[in-house]
């Protein structure tokens, strides 16, 4: 029967160090997943409530790790030095001291009475370094700093200028050396430490301490960068939506005023009615600063716009609505229907003798709200249909807004036949509320 094999002391120490770094990384990943903790990382000026939340978020699991070491002999769970220094470095000396106090209390109760002043001192050391070090250098600190550490050290010696990356490496190393010195002086019963008589393993102990500080900073800084990129993407999308929306109102206003000017001499009363209705519509539009509205509100806007067009065209313009009741609360981009109806009137019905009918439809289908604007006007040839989304402002604007807000798979679909009419069709994904405020577009269907 083969004899069981056990790890040697050096192998056990090496395994403990690897697991300790993994514990620190997992703790950092878990914490950064919480919105409040991530928000605290984004600002360098933190109120006391945020500092307390940061300290307790880091201190409670660290205290649990010390208890696990004392009760289960799980040495890799004790990250008192790394956590206290890290808390001070990120949130200031008092937060670092608080985290050190929380983690050291179980050890002090177990008789490791040096642990309490040492952990608190480490927290203050991290906080003191934070006060001296530029904040950008702290967030640039990472486990990969060792790659160019010799070059940085030589530059420091040659120029006599402080390289804070070197300082951030040396600080936890110095604290670990201090812990080893105190441990040798007073014994493991008074202060927990990891040690080896092998010089290269002792160097790995010091390296593991630096990695225990640099790894969470790298993880948290990556989360900070991702958050800022998301915010910039949202702002860019909002700016693009605003730019596209700003095209609609001048375009609509110009065309309406052009219609009014053509009626001023021949039909002054009709022109006056159009001016009154236009002023009412513009007053409502100016009061609204939102780029989204429900389909119900959009239909109200369309009714006001059609009042203007009805005054202009009279009974020749007929409007039909086939709006499903369960689509009225769907959130859609504001002024998304007006350019479609305007296009139907201008290019479909105006040139047609005897006028015609515009039909507005909406229904739900496969998790989408389908909206169609259909006319029985002159229609378009294949060549004109291919250029329709690129030649003018109105249709191209609607198409671009759909793609910007909901994704590239969402776009305006035009179907037309000469002599029969044109249908403009768009799909709004649900829940469309996700688009409000410039958030990322929903995933579109592949057509």
- Name the residue with higher pLDDT: 107 or 385: 107
Is the bond preceding residue 431 a cis peptide, omega within 30 degrees?
Answer: yes
Q: Is the pLDDT of residue 59 over 90?
A: yes
Measured CA angle at 199 (ends 20, 112), to 5 deg = 50
Q: Taking the alpha carbons of 209, 210, 215, 220 in that order, is the dihedral positive or negative?
A: positive
CB contact at 8 A, 111 and 189:
yes
pLDDT at 246: 55
Q: Is the pLDDT of residue 438 over 50?
A: no
224 Cβ neighbours under 8 A, 6+ residues apart: 38, 41, 42, 139
Q: Are strands 331-333 and 292-294 parallel, antiparallel or unpaired?
A: antiparallel
* 263-278 as b/e: b if 16+ CB within 10 A: beeeeeebbebbbebb
pLDDT at 35: 85
Q: Is the pLDDT of residue 434 over 70?
A: no
* 264-438 fold: Heat Shock Protein 90 (3.30.565)
State the span(s) of the chain assigned CATH 3.30.565.10.
264-438
Q: Is the pLDDT of residue 27 over 90?
A: yes
Give the pair of three-digit tokens for residue 203: 């160097």
DSSP element (H, E) containing 36: helix 35-42
Phi, psi of 202, rounded to the nearest 5 degrees: -65, -40
Q: Is the pLDDT of residue 440 over 60?
A: no
Q: Is the pLDDT of residue 12 over 80?
A: yes
Q: DSSP alpha helices (H): ranges in 291-443?
A: 295-313, 338-343, 382-391, 394-406
pLDDT at 164: 85
Give the pair of three-digit tokens for residue 379: 């229609």
Name the pLDDT band for 445 (thresholds 50, 70, 90): very low
Best-predicted range by mean pLDDT (117-121, 309-313, 384-388): 117-121
User: What are 175-193's pLDDT values in tens digits?
Assistant: 999 999 999 999 989 999 9
CB contact at 8 A, 375 and 358:
yes
Say how far apart CA 259 and CA 205 lie, in whole Å. 82
């Amino acid at each position: 029967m083969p004899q069981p094999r056990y790890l040697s002391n050096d192998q056990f120490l090496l395994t403990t160090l690897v697991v300790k770094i993994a514990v620190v990384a997992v703790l950092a990943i878990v914490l950064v997943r919480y919105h409040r903790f991530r928000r605290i990382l984004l600002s360098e000026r933190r109120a006391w409530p945020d500092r307390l939340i940061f300290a307790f978020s880091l201190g409670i699991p660290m205290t649990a790790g010390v208890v696990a070491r004392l009760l289960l002999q799980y040495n890799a769970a004790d990250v008192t030095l790394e956590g206290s220094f890290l808390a001070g470095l990120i949130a200031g000396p008092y937060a670092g001291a608080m985290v050190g106090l929380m983690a050291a209390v179980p050890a002090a109760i177990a008789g490791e009475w040096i642990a309490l002043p040492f952990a608190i001192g480490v927290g203050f050391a991290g906080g003191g370094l934070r006060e001296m070090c530029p904040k950008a250098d702290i967030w640039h600190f990472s486990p990969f700093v060792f790659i160019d550490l010799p070059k940085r050290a030589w530059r420091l010696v040659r120029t006599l200028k402080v390289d804070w990356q070197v300082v951030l490496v040396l600080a936890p190393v110095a604290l670990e050396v201090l812990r080893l010195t105190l441990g040798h002086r007073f014994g493991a019963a008074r202060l927990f430490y990891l040690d080896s008589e092998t010089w290269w393993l002792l160097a790995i102990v010091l390296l593991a301490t630096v990695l225990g500080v640099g790894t969470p900073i790298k993880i948290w800084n990556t989360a900070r960068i991702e958050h800022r990129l998301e915010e910039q993407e949202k702002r860019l999308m909002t700016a693009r939506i605003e730019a596209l929306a700003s095209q609609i109102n001048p375009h609509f206003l110009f065309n309406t005023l052009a219609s009014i000017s053509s009626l001023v001499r021949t039909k002054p009363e009709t022109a006056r009615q159009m001016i009154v209705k236009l002023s009412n519509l513009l007053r409502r539009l100016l009061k609204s600063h939102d780029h989204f509205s429900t389909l119900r509100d959009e239909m109200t806007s369309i009714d006001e716009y059609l009042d203007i067009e009805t005054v202009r065209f009279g009974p020749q313009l007929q409007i039909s609505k086939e709006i499903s009741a369960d689509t009225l609360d769907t959130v859609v981009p504001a002024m998304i229907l007006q350019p479609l109806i305007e296009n139907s009137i201008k290019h479909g019905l105006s040139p047609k003798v005897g006028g015609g009918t515009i039909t507005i439809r909406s229904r739900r289908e496969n998790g989408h709200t389908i909206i169609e604007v259909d006319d029985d006007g002159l229609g378009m040839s294949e060549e004109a249909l291919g250029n329709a989304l690129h030649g003018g402002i109105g249709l191209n604007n609607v198409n671009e807004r759909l793609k910007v807000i909901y994704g590239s798979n969402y776009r305006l679909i035009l179907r037309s036949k000469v002599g029969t009419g044109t249908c403009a069709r768009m799909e709004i994904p649900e829940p469309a509320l996700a688009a409000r405020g410039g958030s990322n577009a929903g995933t579109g269907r592949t057509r």
